[in-house]
Amino acid sequence: MSTGRFVAVDLGATSGRVMLADVGPGTLEMRQMNRFANDPVYLWNGRRTAMHWDLPGLFGNICTGLAEASRVAPDVTSVGVDSWAVDYGLLRDGKLLGLPYNYRDARCALGADAVHETLPQERIHARNGLQFMAFNTMFQLAADKLEGLLDLADTALLVPDLIGYWLTGRTATERTNASTTGLLGVDGTWDTELESILGLPGGLFPELAEPGAELGTVLPDLAGRVGFGTGLRVTTVASHDTASAVVAIPMDAASAAYVSCGTWALVGVELGAPVMSADARTANFTNEVGADGRIRFLRNVMGLWLLSESVRHWERDGSRVDLPVLLEQAAACPPPADVFDGDDPRFVEPGDIPGRITAWYDERGLPAPASRPEMARAIIESLAAGFARGVEQSAALTGVPVETVHLVGGGAKNRLLCQLVANRVDKPVVAGPVEATAIGNVLLQARAHGLLHGDLDDLRGTMATTLPTERFEPRRAPAGRV
């Protein structure tokens, strides 16, 4: 058999999708089975209104996608699941204790403060090599401890592992996503000493699983409900969505940087070993594990959240914003006199993002965008500036001679953004594939089941001609100042 059929379940922080793929050497065809929103759920907990994820609702949408896949292609070999990082569900005796918290919930800062009272960030970085983000799993667990939730739980499952558990009844913690928790040491093992120092219970997370391992088969009753017979396998992939996306980037890692741009943007390079220098820590870069043990040395910066949340705010009055038209209008606007700092903490929580951007400019006595197209232009210019800064820093911190920047994910559809990044880094930007995460997901499944062979470089080389990309050459000097 030269080709096989695989399903990618790809959950992003604002939307999810179930994709059916036909994969083989030099062959890749992706078809969308279901696409759905992933909106936070706000629940009163007796003290405040907290942000959660509707994981059961997402699972229902996944099952709808699987049912459609079974109708189109009953001969699917396996399913792989990836998602955004850091969030998790707490279980006891196999049962979910409540809807998982959303990483944007205000409790994260309390958890980070509690951890730092015990251990300063520089000592944490020396153990796990991660950048400081207040919503990292270890800080969320510290917040759980403050609430007494850890006294109730015997297991924690990261989001894709929780979906895998509901599909198969089996538990594991996939390595690439485990590396975002803060509890995995740079030696690749769970840091039980760190758990003890922080007063966290040991053994919450199950054993580590590598991308490409077989988790199990879909439970018979579930397989029957979605139209598959028994024997449909679930294969672990690089379950942190960025790790799967990087698999599908048609790049030469020795001379390229990447931007995986969705709700967040992850900007960096691929290495063979972590960079643990003080300069890397000060610059807030992180060492996350990729497929095949590669290191994704990157910085997590603001992504398209600013634009999507602005649109959400504008549509609160019942009107509809036509995003393609808005982007055309933004492209016709002059660039702002200054770009704003997209990583300002004020932009993390949902709400009136345009108002907060205006306040950022007002506080500095700078002219703020006066219309929606001008606001969109300021957002895109500021994102491009942040991406360019991340590319330049990653090159300086690692010595990688960056000649090309690859931009994948939803941001690859934004031609203005791609061009502005090329202008600011003064290097070509190769945009695409847009569905890099789902593609990387199915490539790893296909390799695990013997249809593709070799390491990441081999996979990229084999599939390079099948991956849709567009090249943007730098045109002019950037406008605006950081």
Q: Which residues are catalytic?
A: 241
Residue 80 is classified by DSSP as E
How far apart are the C-alpha atoms of 132 and 300, rounded to whole Å? 10
The DSSP annotation for 47-67 comes to: SSEEEEE-HHHHHHHHHHHHH
Q: Which residue carries 């939307």 as its tokens?
A: 15
Residue 476 CB-density burial (10 A; 0-12 exposed, 13-18 middle, 19+ buried) = exposed
305, two tokens: 């959240």
Closest to 432 (Cα-Cα) out of 61, 28, 72, 17? 28
Other C-beta atoms closer than 10 Å to the C-beta of 54 total: 17
Residue 128 CB-density burial (10 A; 0-12 exposed, 13-18 middle, 19+ buried) = buried
Confirm if 258 and 386 have CB atoms less than 8 A apart.
no
Amino acid code (one letter) for 291: A
Three-state SS at 10: strand
The DSSP annotation for 254-301 comes to: TSEEEEEESSEEEEEEEESS----HHHHHTT-EEEE-GGG-EEEEEEE
Amino acid code (one letter) for 119: L
How far apart are the C-alpha atoms of 77 and 3, rounded to whole Å? 11
How far apart are the C-alpha atoms of 66 and 267, rounded to whole Å? 32
How far apart are the C-alpha atoms of 265 and 12, rounded to whole Å? 12
How far apart are the C-alpha atoms of 361 and 338, rounded to whole Å? 9
How far apart are the C-alpha atoms of 424 and 478, rounded to whole Å? 5
Confirm if 241 and 296 have CB atoms less than 8 A apart.
no
* Residue 347 Cα distances to 111, 352, 367, 417, 434, angstroms: 19, 9, 19, 19, 25
How far apart are the C-alpha atoms of 474 and 375, rounded to whole Å? 23
How far apart are the C-alpha atoms of 237 and 215, rounded to whole Å? 10
Half-sphere exposure of 209 (CA within 13 A, CB side): 25
458, two tokens: 């081999």
* Residue 384 Cα distances to 20, 44, 280, 377, 396, angstroms: 32, 38, 21, 11, 18
